[in-house]
Amino acid sequence: MLKEDIQPGDAYVHDVIGHGIMGMCHIDQGLVGGNEMTLRAGGPGAFTGFIPDQLSPLDVQAAQAVYGTDLQPGATRADFVSRGLVRP
């Protein structure tokens, strides 16, 4: 295996935990204070190696807000907006 084939720890957590297990999408790191604020960092300036390698307090807060609703898998953006979870 080449060094280039090994995924950094934070990218692994981002993909496996963030997307795979928790079903989280990307969030623009510029809107939440930087790469270090969420393992879901995405958008311009989001770089592997600078995001957390575990759930951040912001990630936990977002998960509690979403999973504390009646949203079901496959919910649309409009569903999230109607529950006040994202800006319209």
Q: Please write the tens of the pLDDT for every residue from 9-24.
A: 888 888 889 899 998 9
CA 31 to chain centroid: 13
Across the strands, what pairs with 28?
42
Q: From the centroid of its chain, how far is CA 50? A: 14
* Per-residue confidence (pLDDT) for residue 57, from 0 to 100: 95
Which helix (H) or strand (E) segment holds residue 12: the answer is helix 9-13
pLDDT tens-place string over residues 44-80: 888 888 889 899 999 999 999 999 999 998 999 999 9
Give the per-residue pLDDT at 53: 87
Beta bridge partners of 41: 27
CB 73 within 8 A of CB 23: yes
pTM above 0.95, yes or no: no
